[in-house]
Structure 1
Amino acid sequence: MSDLQEVDETTFDELVLRADKPVLVEFWAQWCGPCHQLLPILTQVGAERNDQLTVVKINADENPVISANYRVMALPTMMLFHHGRPIWAVVGARPKAKLLKELDDALLARV
């Protein structure tokens, strides 16, 4: 999984919590099949919505402190952060159209 920017425990605060725009974070692991299925969708969303949000990934196995802090219990978990706080989260892969609708709803709720 290398098409999205990877964050870790040393870069999470800067790239996610202090970001200028909303950040969609995918918590993933190498062994997670649905995580690999979700990668092309998240890559497309990141490219298409580049002006609206940033899409990154974090390996939950390699970054257990952050995963525990946000109570990530299953993978893939996607969490949308805005102004340093999670404003939306969902567990499991989903089709691109459904993901975009959920993201739009979450972002509109914050405007």
Structure 2
Amino acid sequence: MTGYEITSFEFRVLLRHYWRKNLNAKAAAKAICDVEGEGTVASRTTQKWFKHFNEGDFDLEDRPHSGRPTVLDEGDLQTALDVEPSSSTRELTEELGVANKTV
């Protein structure tokens, strides 16, 4: 499968699979890297996810966290600009509740 890049969600499914097979985090990372390529997933990442699974947290979806780009509804931005075309970036970030970099 040349050119196919595995998604974060697919990684998490694989990690859950290896966790259920009672592999340790390091062995799971190695198994994934053996197939997907060296450096594809870090042992530390697998440890973090195994900890979630051990705590009964099996939610594999992305979660918001600091530093993650805020999603901006472009329709909301356009509406704000239609109402006040001379709005500054600072005003728009406050009005829309997003980071300055996002606007």
Instruction: Please give the range of the TM-score, normalised by the shorter of the 2 chains.
Output: under 0.3
The structure with the larger Rg is 2
- For CA contacts below 8 A with separation 6 or more, give which structure has more relative contact order: 1
The normalised TM-score by structure 2 is: 0.23
The normalised TM-score by structure 1 is: 0.22
Higher helix share: 2
